[in-house]
Structure 1
């Protein structure tokens, strides 16, 4: 018996990077996964990999900034797969810029792809998660917790997500729904590209991580997501789990 047998999960930004890592970890633990992503070509490729383990898994082309279509993403999952046990709000886009240079456009990009989808997908999923006593996993970042420079719009949206997650944990707990946060440092394609372009800064970042490595997408971040989506974490809610090799130590 695997940890997520017969569970249905929806993962935003699930076509690549951390989202794909979690999706692969989920299907290997018995879940059927729906990935929602803007990149249809990559999404279809990832779907083929997921279906090797979970044939009923599905891909939903989605632009999360189109707020009026968010509830429809959840509805597609339920209509096709019959229920929803796990919601993972992973997708988020932003641009690095100093506070002095920040514009409304920068803020809109970060909040429209990160905070607002997290909020509205939680709302849309709530009736179905009540039925399954399900789990929500949202995503934060050390950029917000530590106040990384040139990350103002991203940090603001990520900390807003942390705030709404704590509220959701308090409000949804009576329904048996757990709501938690992962704050990762991961060996994503974006980090790999940045490291190749800025090798000295990349090494300095590694040196600040006590375990001296980046998290593996499936083996590290995905495994913690499996834990938070399973019965193993049934008595954990409202928490920010730092999956960052010890880079940030919450108090």
Structure 2
């Protein structure tokens, strides 16, 4: 079986050389994995997150490895944040070619009838609202670059439904809807918009693995590949592909990066 370290070299090591990308929620988990893959392929990346200490450590590690990473601590609930993120990327690197909307916040899982307005507002403010605003803010820069790519992060909680995740599922499906519309409207400008729905070994799944190994194995068993995806070697490279030239004819799509779990439900 091919190891995760072997998989990291599948695509050309400098396939994103000269590209500038923004990745939100990049301090850890899926966002960090995506940033890792983009940086390893030669992109310059602005990492944003609200977790200042974790973001600083992550960015420092990238810089020590000689990668072109820059960080910005940002609270996505602030209305001026999307423009500040885009301005920082443009001023730091001179252009923007790609945007990855990964960040989202949500409260603990609840039955549909127990979800409060505050629960709903949190996931919508940090999910579809800011995704929409960032897409609008970055659009002029992608036009100036002659085109570009946006990858938004969806979830199987929305595509297939997940008990106790009503607000989160709705927020993720809202992101999928706006992604399709943007793909239709911006395609003529050479701007591609796609969605990926990952199943990855995040901190949350690691906690589940430690606290409830049986439930964790049930999650693993839903996949055809019988493993959970690695953020840096499974999820990140797929996003890098969608951003790169090899995906120049792919737009408006939702790709399930879940080891086959969603294909056999």
**TM-score bracket for this pair, using the shorter chain length:** over 0.9
- Is 1:126 matched with 2:139? yes
Aligned to 1:153: 167
Match of 2:44 in 1: 32
Asked if 1:233 is matched to 2:247, the reply is yes
Partner Cα separation in structure 2 for residue 62 and residue 173 of structure 1: 29
Instruction: Tell me how far 1:65 sits from its aligned partner.
Output: 1.1
Distance 2:49 2:68 in 1: 17
Partner of 1:94: 106
**Alpha-carbon contact 2:44-2:68 (below 8 Å) kept:** yes
1:1-251 alignment runs, 5 A limit: 2-95=14-107, 96-132=109-145, 133-249=147-263
In structure 2, C-alpha distance between the alignment counterparts of 1:26 and 1:52, rounded to whole Å: 16
Q: CA RMSD in A?
A: 1.4
Structure 1 contact 38–63 (Cα < 8 Å) conserved: yes
TM-aligned CA deviation for residue 49 of structure 1:
1.9
Moved over 3 A (4+): 52-56
Secondary structure of the residue that 2:45 maps to in structure 1?
strand
Alignment partners' CA distance in 2, 1:55 and 1:196 = 33
Provide structure 2 residue ranges, at least 5 long, that are not aligned to the other structure.
Answer: 1-12
Task: Report how far residue 110 of structure 1 moved.
Answer: 0.6
Please give the secondary structure, in 2, of the residue aligned with 1:190. Answer: helix
Q: Structure 1: which 5+ residue stretches go unaligned?
A: none
